[in-house]
């Protein structure tokens, strides 16, 4: 309950996560049938990067700050440009003030008339902000409940047979990797046709290896890991990289993910930045 994403909004991990999110939503939009998105740790949906929290860390400067004014790359995957358009539209809507859309705002902007978004947020103040943001949007529902518990209560979705479950926990608890692995397994049991995307921090390798092995040992298959590291993950006190575990990824998403991370690397880091896309367990 102490974690506030306002301090970290728009950083390199957000950029990676949100560009991949746009690519996943695009994959769902390729078919006409409606889809549903469950965002288990939604936050407030919209972040003021000129505010006290974001300015105190300045993390956004090495994330969205490096891409807003970067020249367009014609070879870049289209989803990067689409994500930037969403960000710029939010800034324009706030008369040029530097606001950054979180995952709920990004997803909501991409929904079609019959698609839906369900957001879970346990922090009371953040929950109120989220409700205000979507008070006029009937396609978005807000639940003030634990995101992990919501996986059992809200899956499978009633509105659609297709969809995405996005898990982006704060990693405040020591057993967060264990809880995340358990949640992925439960989500797949309840929503077998859904795509599951789970974010995780990379500080040093032991926890991420244990996380991947726990899923393998549980018999999980079709697991794709996307990782971007700014520096060798040797210091457990620093956020050295960002990971996304995609269970049941869309067809040929490995190539899309590799193109995304390869394009983002020069923008988000220095010479030591590396991207890696690999199958933890193939289909």
- Is residue 215 predicted with pLDDT exceeding 70? yes
Of the residues 168, 175, 235, 271, only one is catalytic, namely: 168
CB atoms within 10 A of CB 49: 22
Handedness of CA 174, 206, 184, 115 (dihedral sign): positive
pLDDT, average across residues 161-176: 93
| pLDDT at residue 272, as a whole number | 86
Of the given ranges (10-24, 247-261, 264-278), which has the lowest mean pLDDT?
A: 264-278
The answer to whether 168 is a known catalytic residue is: yes
pLDDT, average across residues 209-231: 97
pLDDT band at 1 (very low <50, low <70, confident <90, very high): very low
pLDDT, average across residues 273-277: 96
| pLDDT at residue 125, as a whole number | 92
Nearest to 45 by CA among 138, 109, 114: 109
Pairing of strands 46-48, 274-281: unpaired
> If you search the block for the tokens 């994330």, which residue do you land on?
63
CB atoms within 10 A of CB 43: 25
Of the given ranges (66-75, 113-122, 257-266), which has the lowest mean pLDDT?
A: 66-75
| pLDDT at residue 241, as a whole number | 96
| pLDDT at residue 72, as a whole number | 86
Segment 114-168, tens digit of pLDDT: 999 999 999 999 999 999 999 999 999 999 999 999 999 999 998 889 999 999 9
pLDDT band at 43 (very low <50, low <70, confident <90, very high): very high
pLDDT band at 197 (very low <50, low <70, confident <90, very high): very high
CB atoms within 10 A of CB 102: 25
For a pLDDT cut of 70, what percent of the chain falls above it? Answer: 99
pLDDT band at 3 (very low <50, low <70, confident <90, very high): low
- Is residue 28 predicted with pLDDT exceeding 60? yes
* Element (DSSP H or E) covering residue 46: strand 46-48
Burial-class residue 21 by CB neighbours within 10 Å (0-12, 13-18, 19+): buried
- Is residue 271 predicted with pLDDT exceeding 90? no
Average per-residue pLDDT in the chain?
Answer: 95
DSSP labels, 147-189: HHHHHHHH-S-SS-SEEEEEE-----STTHHHHHHHHHHHHHH
């Amino acid at each position: 309950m102490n974690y506030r994403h306002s301090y970290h909004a728009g950083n390199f991990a957000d950029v990676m996560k949100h560009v991949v999110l746009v690519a996943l939503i695009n994959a769902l939009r390729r078919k006409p049938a409606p889809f549903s998105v469950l965002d288990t740790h939604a936050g407030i949906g919209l972040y003021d990067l000129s505010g006290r929290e974001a300015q105190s860390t300045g993390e956004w400067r090495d994330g969205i700050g490096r891409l807003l004014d970067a020249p367009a790359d014609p070879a870049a995957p289209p989803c990067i440009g689409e994500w930037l358009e969403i960000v710029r539209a939010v800034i324009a809507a706030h008369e040029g003030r530097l606001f950054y859309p979180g995952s709920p705002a990004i997803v909501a902007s991409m929904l079609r008339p019959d698609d839906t978004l369900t957001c879970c947020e346990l922090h009371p103040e953040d929950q109120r902000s989220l409700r205000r943001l979507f008070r006029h949007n009937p396609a978005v529902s807000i639940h003030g409940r634990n995101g992990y518990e919501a996986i059992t209560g809200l899956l499978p979705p009633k509105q659609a047979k297709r969809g995405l479950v996005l898990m982006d926990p704060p990693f405040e608890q020591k057993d967060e990797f264990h809880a995340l692995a358990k949640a992925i397994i439960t989500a797949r049991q309840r929503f077998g046709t859904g795509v599951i995307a789970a974010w995780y921090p990379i500080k040093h390798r032991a926890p991420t290896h244990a996380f991947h092995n726990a899923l393998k040992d549980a018999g999980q298959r079709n697991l794709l890991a996307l990782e971007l590291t700014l520096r060798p993950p040797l210091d457990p006190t620093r956020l050295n990289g960002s990971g996304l575990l995609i269970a049941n990824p869309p067809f040929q998403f490995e190539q899309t993910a590799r193109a995304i991370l390869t394009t983002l690397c020069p923008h988000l880091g220095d010479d030591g930045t590396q991207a890696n896309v690999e199958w933890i367990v193939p289909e």
